[in-house]
Structure formats: structure tokens, C-alpha cells
């Protein structure tokens, strides 16, 4: 009889329970496709007595995930606890040190410690896989490391946080402000315990850093990701962008340039008729561009029990088949240290501001833009209030550094009410 691949699963929350269900319910299918049975031998979680809707009586229980990682009857340690440090990192390190392969959905841990863990795995002859850490059920890591292995990747971009996409599309369709939809998302359970991980772009930034490492052969550099969340996006921005043929998305972009590696996670305007512009609700989308393939668009559920457990099992099945790839697509020892770009890629920008309703105010703003070399492509004035005149400007392509100079100059003119909102317009 073929020797089964034995799993030890740490973390029995939504994803962990989903993995157990797949192994229990699809045992015959998995065995046929892997060429050997897939079996769970031991599990670990914080609460042994919690009702999870799965059968656990056949498995050994470990209160300590590190002890689970070291068990002799575990071939693959499946880490689904989460957290950049603490038990997740300690257990992953213990598993690697014991020569166990590791499959994880932990984007935060890999974004902060991925290089060290990958080096340790190589030294121990172990495999470290993380398809489930990026974009849920979308097989984007496999696409980059296998399907597009013959391509030079030129750009990776995408919507990688379903909660933010839900909030932005819901604001548009319900004509409600950010604060109302944020509260709605919280009540629906869409937000992390710390909501800034979602709306601040941190969660999606972790994913972008991992994809950039795979795409460009660089060490993971989360510190090099420029982060901006969606908290300042107003219903006015969404409606005015729509009037111009755009939609606003929290968009991650990674691109290798002559000035270094660009990594940014920020709200952007994208054409409404583009694949990214048509993306609705909590769905994720990743766009890969390479030579010679051109553009590839991957769309699917970015979170949830089924999609994420599916991605975990994709890695498990590769290990069962004997496929042993480097963590980031090439040996960690060969990965270059990322050099952050010294300046941004030029782009057009959307600017929204409230001007004091007095003569010469708009002329001052135009002068400030001209002085730093930012030219105006389009401009609209909306209905005045008694004291202010809302103005929307779309610039020609410029560097963000020049725009930041202009924004600082605008604040010094004394004709603004509040601070301008600046949103990049991304070519997709």
C-alpha cells in the first residue's frame, strides 16, 4: 500500500476546519490525484472543546503547536493560526528544524520573516509553501512560479483585499458615506479585529510584498511597500470618478524599474470598463504582465473557508506528488535584496479640493501646479456652497514627488478649506 502523506494541522478556525473537511470528504479524489492517500494524524488549536462542525476524534491532539510541529508522525505541518510572530512563527521554525515540510496561509509571518524561513527550509531540505497566503483561492503563486516561469514579469497589480473592495463598491451602489459602509462591514464580520489591517492597506500590502518577491526574484521587503488606505475616500470621490469613466479601487502595484522596485498599495482610479474596474464586492483580482505572455487576469474569491482551504490543499497535493519548489520560485540564497525605487513611475492624478469662494483662488492653485511642472489635463467646478467652491482637477502624467511639492504649495496659498485629496490614475 502506498504510504500516506501525514498532515499536522495547527489552527482549526475557518480555514483549518475547511482543510479538515476537504481531507475527510474528498479522500478518494485526493488519493487518485496525488498518487497516495492524504491523512491527518494530529491537530492543535487554542480550545479543544469548541464545536467546529468537523470530526476530530480520530486525530491526536496537541495543546502546543510547537509539539505538533515536532511529531514523528507528521510529514507536513500546516500552519493556519495567523500572526507575524508568536506561536505561528515558533511552530513553523520548529517544523523546519525537524525536517518537516510547511504549508501556511500566514501572509503576515512571511511578509516579515519569509526570507529567514525560506533560508532555513533550504538548509533543512524542507519545503515552505504559501499559496493560501495571497488572494485566497486564486492560484497566483503557482501561476508565477510554474505557468509563467518562462516569462520576465514586468508588472504585478491587483485588488487583494475583498473587504476594501466591498466597502468601495457598496459606497458607490448605495450612495452612502465611508463611515456608514465601514460600520456595515464590521457588523457583517468582514473586518479584522484590528480594522486598520484591512482599510489601512496592511493586509493587502503583505500579499503584494510576497508576490513582488516571486515575480522579481527579490527578498521580501514589506517595509518597502508604500501604504495608503481607503479612509479618506469620500462618496464625492467615487461619484466624480464614475462621471469621468473611472472607479476607485485599493490597488496593489509592484514593478521593477531602472530606479528600483516599486511597491505601492493605495487607492487608484482605474477605467470603469477594465477588468479591475468591473470587479464587484469582496472578489479579488490579480493582473500579471510578462514577456512574452502579455497580460494575464486571475479573478476569484480572496478569502473564506472554501477558497482558502482549496489553496492550502493545492500546496499539500504538490508535496504529495513530489513537487518540491523553492519558496519564492528560486533559491532564497539567490534572491537579491530589494532596492526601493528612488522615484515613482509617472501617472496622471485626480485632485479634489475645496477652494474658498473668492477671486483669484483657482489661479493660485494653477500657478502652484505650473511652478513644479504639473500640467492640467481636465478641470471641473461643482456647485458652490455659500463659502466654498468644489474643484476637481485631472493632471497630465507626472511623478508623485512633483505632485507632493504642489500639494504642499497649495496648503501654503491660504485659499483651501482642508487638504486636497490626490488619487493616482493607473494605466491598466
SS3 286: strand
Summary mean pLDDT of the chain: 93
pLDDT of residue 388: 82
Q: How confident is the model at residue 1 (pLDDT cuts 50, 70, 90)?
A: low
Q: Say whether pLDDT at 179 is over 90.
A: yes
Q: What is the CA 198 to chain-centroid distance, rounded?
A: 10
pLDDT in tens, 311-369: 999 999 999 999 999 999 999 999 999 888 877 889 999 999 988 878 888 899 999 99
Q: Report which of residues 190 and 309 the model is more confident about.
A: 309
pLDDT of residue 357: 79
pLDDT in tens, 241-260: 998 899 999 999 999 998 89
Active site residues: 207
Q: Say whether pLDDT at 79 is over 70.
A: yes
Residue 275 · residue 124 · CB < 8 Å: no
Residue 215 · residue 156 · CB < 8 Å: yes
HSE, CB side, 13 Å, CA atoms: give it for residue 113: 17
pLDDT of residue 385: 67
Determine the average pLDDT of the residues in 399-422: 91
How many Cβ atoms are within 10 Å of 189's Cβ, its own excluded? 6
User: With pLDDT > 90 as the criterion, what percentage of the chain qualifies?
Assistant: 80
Residue pointed to by grid coordinates 508604500? 226
Task: Please give the domain boundaries of the chain with CATH numbers for all domains.
Answer: 5-133 (3.40.50.720), 142-303 (3.30.360.10), 348-425 (3.30.70.260)
pLDDT of residue 313: 97
CA distances from 125 to 118, 120, 302 (A): 10, 9, 31
Residue pointed to by grid coordinates 477671486? 359
pLDDT in tens, 189-224: 888 888 888 999 999 999 999 999 999 999 999 999
Which one of 88-102, 179-193, 405-419 scores highest in mean pLDDT? 88-102
Amino acid at each position: 500500500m502506498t504510504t500516506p502523506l501525514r498532515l499536522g494541522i495547527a489552527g482549526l478556525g475557518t480555514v483549518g476546519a475547511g482543510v479538515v473537511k476537504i481531507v475527510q470528504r474528498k479522500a478518494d479524489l485526493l488519493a487518485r490525484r496525488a498518487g497516495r492517500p492524504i491523512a491527518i494524524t494530529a491537530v492543535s488549536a487554542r480550545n479543544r472543546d469548541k464545536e467546529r462542525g468537523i470530526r476530530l476524534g480520530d486525530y491526536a491532539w496537541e495543546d502546543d503547536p510547537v509539539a505538533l510541529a515536532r511529531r514523528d508522525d507528521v510529514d507536513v505541518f500546516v500552519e493556519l493560526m495567523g500572526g507575524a510572530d508568536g506561536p505561528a512563527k515558533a511552530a513553523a521554525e520548529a517544523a523546519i528544524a525537524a525536517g518537516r515540510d510547511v504549508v501556511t496561509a500566514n501572509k503576515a509571518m512571511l511578509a516579515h520573516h519569509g526570507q529567514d524561513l525560506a533560508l532555513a527550509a533550504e538548509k533543512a531540505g524542507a519545503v515552505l509553501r504559501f499559496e493560501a497566503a495571497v488572494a485566497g483561492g486564486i492560484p497566483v503563486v503557482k501561476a508565477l512560479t510554474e505557468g509563467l516561469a518562462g516569462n520576465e514579469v514586468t508588472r504585478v497589480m491587483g485588488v487583494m483585499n475583498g473587504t476594501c473592495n466591498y466597502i468601495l463598491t457598496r459606497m458607490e451602489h448605495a450612495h452612502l458615506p465611508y463611515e456608514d459602509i465601514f460600520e456595515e462591514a464590521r457588523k457583517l464580520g468582514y473586518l479584522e479585529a484590528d480594522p486598520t489591517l484591512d482599510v489601512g492597506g496592511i493586509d493587502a500590502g503583505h500579499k503584494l510584498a510576497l508576490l513582488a518577491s516571486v515575480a522579481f526574484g527579490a527578498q521580501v521587503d514589506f517595509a518597502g511597500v508604500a501604504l495608503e488606505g481607503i479612509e479618506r475616500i469620500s462618496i464625492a470621490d467615487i461619484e466624480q470618478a464614475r462621471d469621468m469613466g473611472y472607479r476607485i479601487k485599493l490597488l496593489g502595484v509592484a514593478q521593477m524599474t531602472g530606479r528600483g522596485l516599486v511597491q505601492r498599495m493605495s487607492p487608484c482610479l482605474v477605467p470603469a470598463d477594465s477588468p479591475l474596474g468591473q470587479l464587484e464586492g469582496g472578489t479579488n483580482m490579480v493582473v500579471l504582465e510578462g514577456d512574452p505572455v502579455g497580460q494575464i487576469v486571475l479573478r476569484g474569491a480572496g478569502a473564506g473557508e472554501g477558497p482558502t482551504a482549496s489553496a492550502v490543499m493545492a500546496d499539500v497535493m504538490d508535496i504529495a506528488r513530489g513537487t518540491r519548489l523553492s519558496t519564492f520560485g528560486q533559491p532564497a540564497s539567490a534572491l537579491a535584496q530589494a532596492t526601493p525605487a528612488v522615484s515613482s513611475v509617472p501617472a496622471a492624478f485626480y485632485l479634489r479640493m475645496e477652494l474658498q469662494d473668492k477671486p483669484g483662488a483657482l489661479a493660485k492653485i494653477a500657478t502652484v501646479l505650473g511652478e513644479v511642472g504639473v500640467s492640467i489635463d481636465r478641470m471641473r467646478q461643482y456647485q458652490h456652497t455659500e463659502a466654498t467652491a468644489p474643484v476637481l482637477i485631472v493632471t497630465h502624467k507626472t511623478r508623485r514627488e512633483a505632485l507632493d511639492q504642489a500639494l504642499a504649495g497649495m496648503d501654503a496659498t491660504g485659499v483651501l478649506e482642508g487638504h486636497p485629496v490626490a488619487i493616482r490614475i493607473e494605466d491598466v
